[in-house]
Amino acid sequence: MTRLARLLAGALLLVAGPLGAQEPLPIFDAHAHYNLETGRPVSVEEVFSLWHRAGIRAALLTSRPNEGTRELLARTPPGVRTVAFARPYVVRSDVNTWFRDPARYRLLETELARGIYVGIGEFHIFGQDADSEGFARVVALAMRRGLWLHAHCDDYVIARIYALDPGARVIWAHTGMTVALARVAQLLDAHPGLHGELSYRSGLPRAGDLPVEWRALFLRHPDRFLLGSDTWVPERWPEVPAIMEDYRRWLAQLPAPVAMQIAWGNGARLFLGGADPGAH
């Protein structure tokens, strides 16, 4: 073998691991809910067992109410990493009213005073609701405390957040769900602090070929996308390993370093100081 061939073989081995023993891509789950509002969806032990089966080595927690997040955070076993976001929610109907409800703003302040959170969200807001004084107040609160926002919203709201503060760091839940890809690309180009989380995002295949427009967007912005399980209802929990397999099918169609960035690297860089995924 020439020196170059040996180097190449070594590099391939690093990416793929020894033949036959290929590890599934490790995953940073940037959209995990342990909602306890209507009862426990699965036990804490089952959460970590599902994550183990799914290859999830780290998760961004956000729950309704915040007790679920705090419980998982406190009981995270060695080998798994968790980071927490605070939600302005106690019950489901809060998703429509939180930004004009002073009691929910106070809830956020109380939660944030615990000092365990790195962001606010996931919250829901659409269109001109983002022009409200209450929303501006929450964005200002996040900026003052150096926190992320995890926003389930349309492109109007993303533009509004950046009009309020060009330095905002945002996870766009579902990458806008159905917002036109050209608009998503435009917003990513314009705002370096914007990151797209991909659960339920329309246009991504469960099986089959990754559309060329998506491939182009991932190659243009490999450092701006994250995966998520979005366990928003109890039925979603048992599906978590299958959801991650669906992601891995289209990730396998991207260059290996890009797939690794989207699956693990971006979440680890943004929230874990660049930690490696560790042993499974």
Residues that bind Zn ion (CB under 5 A): 122, 230, 232
29 or 230: CB nearest Zn ion: 230
87 or 222: CB nearest Zn ion: 87
Q: How far is the CB of 197 from Zn ion (least distance, A)?
A: 9
196 or 222: CB nearest Zn ion: 196
Q: Which of 103, 77, 78 is nearest to 89 (CA)?
A: 103
111 or 230: CB nearest Zn ion: 230
List beta partners, residue 43: none
Greatest CA separation for the chain: 70
Q: How far is the CB of 9 from Zn ion (least distance, A)?
A: 43
34 or 271: CB nearest Zn ion: 34
Q: How far is the CB of 171 from Zn ion (least distance, A)?
A: 11
CA atoms within 13 A on the CB side of 60: 31
148 or 232: CB nearest Zn ion: 232
Which uninterrupted H or E stretch holds 4?
A: helix 3-16
Q: How far is the CB of 53 from Zn ion (least distance, A)?
A: 21
Q: How far is the CB of 274 from Zn ion (least distance, A)?
A: 26
DSSP 194: E
Q: How far is the CB of 181 from Zn ion (least distance, A)?
A: 21
Pairing of strands 27-32, 81-86: unpaired
129 or 230: CB nearest Zn ion: 230
Could you tell me which residues come within 8 angstroms of residue 58 by beta carbon, excluding any fewer than 6 positions away? Answer: 27, 28, 29, 80, 81, 82, 83, 264, 267, 268, 271, 272, 275, 277
Helix, strand, or coil (residue 168)? coil
Q: What is the 3-state secondary structure (H, E, C) of 81-127?
A: EEEEEECCCCCCCHHHHHHHCHHHHHHHHHHHCCCCEEEEEEEEECH
Q: Provide the angle, in degrees to the nearest 10, between the axes of the packed helices 102-112 and 133-144.
A: 10
Q: How far is the CB of 126 from Zn ion (least distance, A)?
A: 14
For tokens 């961004």, the residue is: 60
